[in-house]
Amino acid sequence: MGMYSFLLIAIVIIILEAFMPLLIRKSECFGVMIPERFAEEPDIKQMKKQYAGQVLLFGSLMSLLAVALMAAFHVSEAKIALIFTGTLLLLLAMSFGIYLKYHRRMIDWKAEHVKAGAISLSRKVYVDTSFHRKKMVLPYAWFLIPFLIFLITVTVTWIYYPRAAAYLPAHFDLNGQVTQALPKSFLTAAMFPTLQLFMILTFMGLNWIIQKSKQITTYENPQESLIRSEHFRRIYSRAGFIMCVLMVLDFLVNQLTFLFHWPVAVMTIGSILLIIILFTGLFGLSYFVGQGGSRLKLGETKRSDTRTVRDDDQYWKLGIFYVNRHDPALFIEKRFGIGWTINMARPLAWVIFIGVIGAAILISVLFS
């Protein structure tokens, strides 16, 4: 099962990374802003095909090599875990390295077209002042549902704790076998309820980020880009809520397994089902919605044939990291990728980011 788990995760990473240029806005190519009309140019299409081919090729070779190494060291769980983690990190590093190559090519391509007069730059920004007053995210009252599940977990734990198993499964190997168990205590009994509460607060925070993040508009059709952004936020807000409920339910099943001496296989099967659902949902959202709603079908819309593009590439370091001290926005949609990133020039954005990571590390340390 360990190799199958690895292959599932590796396939998800490779496919998403390889086809990312097709999932983002046409006005953003390898982290560089271009007029949408140029997205259909043969040289741009060729770069995207080359990028996808190289990611698929090298990613597949690395994955096959990892599987071969896992088979060779099947008797050593520690070595398999090391290969598992190391290969996934190498896959991400490999795709990032290939991306950087094409990011530099795009910078040169754009500079040549600007110099030739084919593309003109502008610092003008279209802003809809009523955009953030629209109800684009799920009302926070909906999060009472996962919170109710959390309360049920706490109540059941309080009542049945004396009858709970002497040990709580804490870590599993790649085959779903328990490798570490924690002795029963109030601290270990609080592990899954704590994780539930952390997930609820995290997804509520994500809901807030979706609502408050900076609006993105294009010169070709500003109104349509805002409509796409609205749909994008509504869909991802609801998807985040569903993910939250599923994860909280999974932690409830894990806690019941501990309290009522259910077979550990119940936890394993539940976690596998959760991963499959989450991966399937991720694929579906990426393919049918795209970044910023770029792949949504809105019907026929009239676009201007402008050659003008917003001149803000200097704020996107390597086309990925947004650093703009003149922009009050804390969060902005990624330029290459799905989701949101922080404005690294805003201290408050760092406080929020580090706070979430710190809380996750603290929980991991407390219950390790």
Token digits of residue 152: 């049920």
The rounded distance, in Å, linking the Cα atoms of 84 and 279 is: 18
Alpha helices in the chain (DSSP H): 2-18, 20-23, 42-72, 77-115, 144-160, 186-189, 191-212, 222-260, 264-288, 347-366
Residue among 316, 311, 355, 346 at smallest CA distance from 333 = 316
* CB 112 within 8 Å of CB 40: no
Contacts of residue 170, defined as CB under 8 A and 6 or more positions apart, other chains included, come to 180, 181, 182, 188, 191, 367, 368
Q: What is the pLDDT of residues 162-180, one digit of tens each?
A: 888 777 766 655 555 666 6
Q: What is the dihedral of CA 151, 157, 158, 159, to 10 degrees?
A: 110
Q: What is the pLDDT of residues 113-153, one digit of tens each?
A: 999 988 888 877 777 777 878 888 999 999 999 999 999 99
Domain residue extents for the chain: 1-119, 125-368
**What would you measure as the largest C-alpha separation in the chain, in angstroms?**
77
The rounded distance, in Å, linking the Cα atoms of 87 and 7 is: 11
Long-range contacts of 65-74 (CB under 8 A, 24+ apart): 66/6, 66/10, 67/3, 67/6, 67/7, 70/2, 70/3, 70/6, 71/3
pLDDT over 80 at 31, yes or no:
yes
Q: What is the pLDDT of residues 230-280, one digit of tens each?
A: 999 999 999 999 999 999 999 999 899 888 888 877 888 888 888 889 888
Handedness of CA 267, 255, 10, 65 (dihedral sign): negative
The rounded distance, in Å, linking the Cα atoms of 142 and 52 is: 39
pLDDT, position 82: 79
Please indicate whether residue 4 or residue 291 has the higher confidence score (pLDDT): 291
Q: What is the pLDDT of residues 172-202, one digit of tens each?
A: 555 556 666 777 788 888 889 999 999 999 9
- pTM reported for the whole predicted model: 0.87
> Which 8-state DSSP code applies to residue 215?
P
